[in-house]
Amino acid sequence: MQINAPSRYDKCLSTPVFCCTINKNIVYFMELRMSSFAETVKIIQSELASAKSRSNEYILFQSLEIAYLREINELIKRLNSSQEQSSKILAQIHETDRLYLNAREMEITGHILFSRHGESSLLGQKKLGLSPNACISKDAVQNMAITNRSSDALLCYSPQEHPPLIAVSPMNRAMQTASLVIPQEIKNANIEVLPFLTENSISPSGHDFRSVADMQKCYSQLSFWTSPLEKILLKLSIWIYSDRDFDLLYEKRKSAAEEIQKHGNKILSDSDKPDVCQDLNYHGDKIQDINALIDRVDQRDCWLFGHGKNFAAFFQDVFGIESDFDYGETRRVYKTKVNGTPSLYSPPYALIINQKTGKIEGKCTSVSDMSLQEKPAPFEAAAPSEGATIPNVPKVMTQLGNSVVQAQEKGTLERRTLEDSVDVEEQHTEKNHHESSPLITKGC
């Protein structure tokens, strides 16, 4: 029996959501427009329990996905228009994620936040890349001074009961950002300063240089034939900057570290000139090291403060999401288990620390994805009608009819696009929504 889903959805996802029941081979569609998301999930779960074919399971999971995207879209709108209720709305966003993942049979086992540093522009603070270990702007420091009063709403676990893991790049702008953003309620965190979170860059502004001697040592190790641009930029920086400039950078870094360690363990050394750890000889695999860090997260929050290029590379490699991080952008990843198999899930939105107000805002991307280390056993592909393929469930992350699966098998990530098994017309959001949402690389 052929099942046809509703063929049209409105651009803002404020569409009716339909689920199906089967009674004597007759399919009934029930409109859930007036239901809350929690009620919608209960209804769909009830229908799934009695579904008699894979086609109907698939249509129900599509209904769940559409309801989830619609709810997230509405909550992000409310977050951006009702900042006085931001903590409440952020809690609702997390609860929506939890309900959705639970309906997908994905057990949350940890929560990771990836935050890019505050504003540090190429022309301003980085001086076209020549300013070594560049800081964030004075305006960013001033405006983000209030962020730690509300940033606890981004956590998913009680910091008192589940001490969080906070990992920070040793570079100045990441240290400064962490010192301003870590929730003031956190006092018992496990804090680590990790060299593999440093910037991916060939310019001096992207290196953890702390003296002219550091730059000269790096310069002597570079070959002009293999790294001509990097060597030229470094030589220019050596000519322009002095140890006095590095003394100013040190004071800012030390001040930031002193603020950070108020939230947990000590991170400054006991030397005559206390500083955070530095490793200019790191040559490891940063993505692999971030994954190893995530492996240590169990029933607690983990907050990473670092740099846009590094985090963008991680999201591209693990989730296939190709987009840049804005200043202050924070992306959420849930560590989950699907039928006992470890996985990571990236929800279809990003949270932004507004660099002009210090308040937390959001942008809806409608791009969600999941990375799996092994295939879950149930719901293997089947052909319910006319050769259509039903994707593995709950592995699939449907995008208004388009299903994309991220699998990681034997250490290798592969991306597959699955054919639609129902007639659903993919809709695009408005043009200005795309322009304001750099996470979106393809139409939703």
* The three-state (H, E, C) secondary structure of 198-225, written as one string: CCCCCCHHHCCCCCHHHHHHHHHHCCCC
Q: Which residue has the higher pLDDT, 32 or 111?
A: 111
Q: Tens digits of per-residue pLDDT, 220-254?
A: 998 988 888 989 999 999 999 999 999 999 999 99
Q: Tens digits of per-residue pLDDT, 96-111?
A: 999 999 999 999 999 9
Q: Tens digits of per-residue pLDDT, 135-160?
A: 999 999 999 999 999 999 999 999 99
Q: Tens digits of per-residue pLDDT, 18-31?
A: 444 444 333 334 45
- Beta strand 165-168 pairing with 190-193: parallel
Element (DSSP H or E) covering residue 160? none
| Interacting residues of 437 by C-beta distance below 8 A, sequence separation 6+ | 363, 364, 365
In this structure, are residues 305 and 178 in contact, taking their beta carbons and an 8 Å threshold? yes
Looking at the DSSP bridge assignments, the partners of residue 229 are none
Q: What are phi and psi of 354, to 5 degrees?
A: -60, 120
CATH architecture of the domain covering 108-364: 3-Layer(aba) Sandwich (3.40)
In this structure, are residues 54 and 382 in contact, taking their beta carbons and an 8 Å threshold? yes
Q: Where are the alpha helices (DSSP H) in 320-393?
A: none
Q: How many CB atoms lie within 10 A of CB 116?
A: 27
User: Looking at residue 443, what DSSP letter applies?
Assistant: -
pLDDT, average across residues 422-427: 35
- For the chain, give every residue range classified as CATH 3.40.50.1240: 108-364
DSSP line for 11-30: TTS----EEEEEETTEEEEE
Residue 323's closest CA among 400, 435, 167? 435
Q: Which residue has the higher pLDDT, 43 or 184?
A: 184
Query: What's the N-to-C CA distance of the chain in angstroms?
Result: 29
pTM: 0.79
Give pLDDT, residue 128. Answer: 79
pLDDT, average across residues 181-191: 97
Per-residue pLDDT band for 369 (boundaries 50, 70, 90) equals low
Does residue 409 have a pLDDT over 90? no
User: Looking at residue 189, what DSSP letter applies?
Assistant: B
Range with top average pLDDT, 32-41, 66-75, 360-369, 372-381 = 66-75
